[in-house]
A and B are shown apart, each in its own frame.
Chain A
C-alpha cells in the first residue's frame, strides 16, 4: 500500500522537508466499522548520511495520508532517506536528493 512523496530544499544551511506518506491510517474504531484491520504508521525516521534528522513515533490519530513538515541543518546534494513502519510491520523506504 503505497509509497511516499518527498520534497526537500536547502536554503542557508537549513533544509525544509515535506513528506507525504500514502497510508490509510485506519483507526481501531474506523477499522471495526469497515470490517478491516486497523493499520497505521507507528514510527518514521528521516536520515541524511545515516544520521537521523527526523523521528516520530505516531499513533492512529494522524490524518489519512499524513503530511509531515520539518526542518533540519543540511546541504543540497545529500540524500534524505525516509523510512516508515506500520502496525502490520510493513516498512517503506524512499530516498530523495536535497535540492
Chain B
C-alpha cells in the first residue's frame, strides 16, 4: 500500500466515528484531549481538570521488571467509592492508557494488560464520588519494549 492511500484510509477512519447506542460514557468522545496529551500531568488535567493527591488507599500491582513490554499485567484495587479510574504512563507517545467508568456500587478490582515501550512509571488516578482525585504511582522496568507490536 502506498503512503497516500494509507493516509487517506486513516482519514476515512477518523471521519467515520459511529454514533454509539451505548448509554455509557465514552471518554474518548467526551474528553478527546486526554488521549492526545503527551505527558501524564496534562493527561490528568485534560481528563479531570484538576490535580490528584497521592493516596495509599489504592493498590496498584505491576511487575517490577516486565520481560515483555507488549503485555504488562496491571491490577488496580481500591476501597474508595470511585466514579472513575484512569491509567497513565510516561513513556509511550501519549500518556493515557485507559479510563474505567465505575458503575454505581461497583467493585474496583481491575486487571488489564498494557503496552509500554520502555521502562517508566505508571500513574493511576481514582476519582471518588465527591470528585476528589487520588493517585498512586509505580516505577517499573521493561526489558523488551512493546510498542512495536
Residues of A in contact with B (beta carbons under 8 Å apart) = 14, 24-31, 33-39, 42-43, 45, 51-64, 66-73, 83, 85, 87-89, 91
Contact = CB atoms under 8 A, between A and B. Distances in A.
Interface residues of B, number: 47
B100 A56 contact: yes
Nearest to A53: B103
B52 interface: no
A9 B35 CA distance: 33
A28 B109 CA distance: 29
A99 to B, nearest CB: 18
B3 to A, nearest CB: 9
Interface string B8-44: 0110010011101011111110000001000000000
A67 B13 contact: no
B46 interface: no
Contact of A59 (B25, B98, B106): B98
B89 to A, nearest CB: 7
Contacts of B109: 69-71
Interface stretch (B111-119, B123-131, B132-140): B111-119
Contact of B70 (A37, A56, A63): A63
Given A55-B24, A67-B112, 7 more contacts: A36-B1, A37-B9, A54-B106, A56-B100, A57-B101, A61-B94, A83-B22
Contacts of A51: 103
The 10 A-B pairs of least Cβ separation, nearest first, read: A30-B149, A69-B111, A63-B71, A57-B27, A63-B113, A55-B101, A58-B98, A89-B18, A71-B107, A61-B97
